[in-house]
């Protein structure tokens, strides 16, 4: 009996290895968070949602800061990124409304592919894009 030595039955279990990047995002804080004319009725209760569609467990959010126009979060989040795809961070600044639906103050997008490895990059984002509400984040990417 002879066997075909060119066939490896375990070859079907082989996977392609790709580089993984570890992204640390620190949501530092916000300034002048406003809901526009609604501020006369209620001081904002802001929180920030972070989404990366290409990352496993790619949705995170900060804690809600009650009645705070200039919130300080200092919250850190870790994401695992595939280095072979276009990774974008979607940030959504929200207003918590207890007893009713939360409202979106604004959103912003940021491309993560051009971040320099092992350096802290600090960026400010405005919500809506031309608005007064500002949120500061720090990014640090580690390549594996």
Q: Between 144 and 79, where is the model more confident?
A: 79
pLDDT digits (tens, 9 = 90+) for 67-120: 999 999 999 999 999 988 999 999 999 999 888 899 999 999 999 988 999 999
Examine residue 78 and state whether it is found in any structural domain, yes or no: yes
106 C-beta neighbours (distance < 10 Å), count = 17
CATH number at residue 79: 2.60.40.150
The residue-averaged pLDDT of 125-133 equals 85
The pLDDT score that the predictor gives to residue 39 is 53
Asked if residue 116 belongs to a domain, the reply is yes
d(CA 76, CA 66): 19
Name the domain count of the chain: 1
Assess if residue 44 is contained within a domain: yes
CA distances for 87 relative to 43, 108, 114, 139, angstroms: 34, 14, 10, 13
Q: Spell out the residues 6+ positions from residue 94 whose beta carbon is closer than 8 angstroms to its own.
A: 46, 47, 48, 49, 102, 103, 104, 105
Please, are residues 58 and 79 in contact by the beta-carbon 8 Å criterion?
yes
- Please report the DSSP string for 14-32 in residue order: ------EEEEEEEEEEEES
**72 found inside a domain:** yes
| Domain membership of residue 72 as a residue range | 34-143
Per-residue pLDDT for 4 more than 70? no
Give the mean model confidence (pLDDT) for residues 117-138. Answer: 92
In this structure, what token pair is assigned to residue 8? 């490896």
Give the model's confidence band at 24: pLDDT under 50 very low, under 70 low, under 90 confident, else very high: very high
* Cα 143 from Cα 138, distance rounded (Å): 17
**pLDDT > 70: what percent of the chain?**
84
58: in domain: yes
Asked if the model's pLDDT at residue 1 lies above 60, the reply is no
Q: Return the pLDDT at 38.
A: 59
Instruction: Tell me the pLDDT band of 124, cut-offs 50, 70 and 90.
Output: very high
In a domain, 50, yes or no: yes
């Amino acid at each position: 009996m002879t066997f075909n030595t060119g066939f490896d039955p375990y070859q079907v279990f082989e996977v392609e290895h790709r580089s993984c990047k570890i992204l640390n995002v620190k949501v530092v804080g916000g300034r002048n968070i406003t809901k526009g004319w609604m501020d006369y009725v209620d001081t904002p209760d802001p929180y920030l949602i972070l989404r990366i569609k290409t990352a496993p467990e790619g949705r995170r959010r900060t804690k809600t800061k009650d009645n705070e126009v200039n919130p300080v979060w200092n919250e850190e989040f870790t994401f695992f990124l595939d280095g072979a795809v276009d990774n974008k961070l979607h940030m959504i600044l929200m207003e918590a409304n207890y007893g009713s639906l939360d409202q979106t103050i604004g959103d912003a997008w940021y491309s993560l592919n051009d971040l320099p490895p092992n350096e802290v990059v600090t960026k400010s984002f405005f919500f809506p894009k031309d608005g007064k509400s500002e949120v500061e984040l720090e990014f640090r990417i580690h390549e594996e």
